[in-house]
Amino acid sequence: MKIAKVLRSCSFFRNCFNAALAYLRGAKFIPVICNNGNMVNLYRAYYVAILNGLYRGFIKNLKCDSSGNVIVINGIKLYAQPVISENGFVDLGCCKFTRLHYTILQVFVKQEYAFTEVRGETVIDIGAFVGDSAIYFALRGARRVYAVEPHPEAYAEMLMNISLNHLNDKIIPINAAVGKGGFTCVNIDVNYADITYFKTADNRCDGVRIPSIGLSDLMQKYGIEPDVLKMDCEGCEFDVLMNEYDVIKKKFNEIILECHDAAGSCRDLLRKLSKDFKCHKVSMGGSKIINCS
């Protein structure tokens, strides 16, 4: 654990050092006291995600509810510990999921997309996985979210998550890969869906081949008039941006993408986007979140 992350948390937790000590000692639940004087026992994985969110600047507001069971992050109420309902679903307080993937913690606890304002906007979410980001955008007031996911198992799980949260009228799920003239190769295990990369027709595939559709063709097929493009598709961002940039710069007001250096040069993408958008790097690490508007 980086000391810088602990120090950053001191602006939000009165007992920041004791909380960090409890974590280092292996506690399953971390007692934290917020600046409003209320205390909650945070689920260990939540504590880590919150520290990362605070350190990266995603989390601007954080409060502990007087009940001792709820923490409010950027205005979104979350149970301090995930609740398993009688039917086995995970209830976060704000929303429900069939199971708890790490990406859900990134989106709802770490608040990776808190920097964008999607209220009243139409979002195309490429790489929607199990619907975590699509549900987040819908809860943040997006008018419509087109959630595009190639992985068959992740897509099936997304359908259940959308229904669990009664968002069928706001989220349109699409089982497809986005790209020109190729296919996406996905591992059949949904737990590894986030490490698959875009493939062209010449590449070998040991998983499942999902035919690709171009972004402009996708918009035409579903009659989409978009405002925001979000891409976290493990490398397909290079194909989409390089092949359909003219469409993107005309149709979208904002672009949010997680860039993967393993699939291409993030620097080249940023240079290209910066010709027509004001772009900045939101997060650094093994992958990079870039926001352009």
Please report the pLDDT score of residue 78 as a whole number.
95
Outline which parts of the chain fall under CATH 3.40.50.150. 122-292
Tens of pLDDT, residue by residue over 143-172, are 999 999 988 889 999 999 999 999 999 999
The tokens describing 181, both together, are 């003239």
Backbone dihedral angles phi then psi of residue 289, each to the nearest 5 degrees: -95, 125
Residue 203 pLDDT grade (very low, low, confident, very high; cuts 50, 70, 90): low
Please report the pLDDT score of residue 60 as a whole number.
92
- Could you give the count of Cα atoms lying within 13 Å of 167 in the half-sphere of its Cβ? 32
Residue range 259-280: average pLDDT?
A: 81
DSSP 47-92: HHHHHHHHHHT----EEE-TTSSEEEETTEEEESS-EE-TTS-EE-
The architecture that CATH gives domain 122-292 is: 3-Layer(aba) Sandwich (3.40)
Please report the pLDDT score of residue 49 as a whole number.
93
Provide CB contacts within 8 A for 286, sequence distance 6+.
none
Other beta carbons within 10 angstroms of residue 32's beta carbon come to: 26
